[in-house]
Homo-oligomer: A and B are copies of this chain.
Amino acid sequence: MDNSSGAGVILYACSSSSPDSPSSGYQTHSPSSQSQPSSPEEISSDLQHRSTSSDPNPTTGTSSSPKPVFQFPELSSTHVTSSGQSAVSQSLTGRRSCSAFTIGTGGMVLLCKVCGDIASGFHYGVHACEGCKGFFRRSIQQNISYKMCVKNENCLIVRMNRNRCQHCRFKKCLSVGMSRDGQNLYNTLINHSVAFTAHE
């Protein structure tokens, strides 16, 4: 099946801490929907599977089936092909210009959308490193309002200087789509909600 095949394994920096787990590579599944105001490159696919690189996967040799999945087309009103195949073009790896790259083994490393560091997972709706994850968490937990940017509010946020300007870092977090609920679904829906509700 296509989905399981080609896609590279996505390697996160680590993050999980199960003692036995090889921890090297999982794969991500991303909700794929975040609408990102700034950099609209989405993750395109998300296929995930369990076996990590070295996981023997003791349980059950049974192969799981291909599992077609459909997104609900409500907005576009198009129907859904109920036949299995949905043309989910999984163009995975191919097109992310900057937030992921593949490595020799075929694995793929995802980068933090905020600062470009190695992502440790999919946090608050985007792939993010531990640092930006923690920063964002703190920002939303206590309702921190950072002091104004001393420059033009457009500081470049990269790993090396991500701590220089909290204001711009937080702004970047939001602009790439971080949110408590994991995605900007809300805004997206609001935009379309007219069409949707009008329909019914």
Contact = CB atoms under 8 A, between A and B. Distances in A.
Interface of A: 1, 3-5, 17, 19-58, 60, 62-76, 79-84, 86, 88-90, 103-105, 107, 122, 124-125, 160-161, 181-183, 185-186, 188-190, 192-193, 196-197, 199-200
Contacts of A86: 68
State the main secondary structure of chain A at its contact with B: loop
Nearest to A62: B19
A41 B75 contact: yes
Nearest to A182: B35
B107 A82 contact: yes
Given A31-B37, A196-B76, A47 B67 contact: yes
Given A69-B69, A79-B197, 15 more contacts: A3-B47, A17-B64, A27-B70, A32-B44, A42-B44, A50-B50, A65-B84, A68-B80, A72-B72, A73-B74, A73-B185, A79-B104, A79-B105, A80-B105, A160-B181
A196 B75 CA distance: 11
A108 to B, nearest CB: 12
How many copies of the shown chain assemble into the complex? 2
Given A45-B89, A84-B65, A33 B40 contact: yes
Nearest to A32: B46
B72 A36 contact: no
Given A32-B31, A65-B22, A82-B199, A3 B44 contact: no
B54 A182 contact: no
A30 B27 contact: no
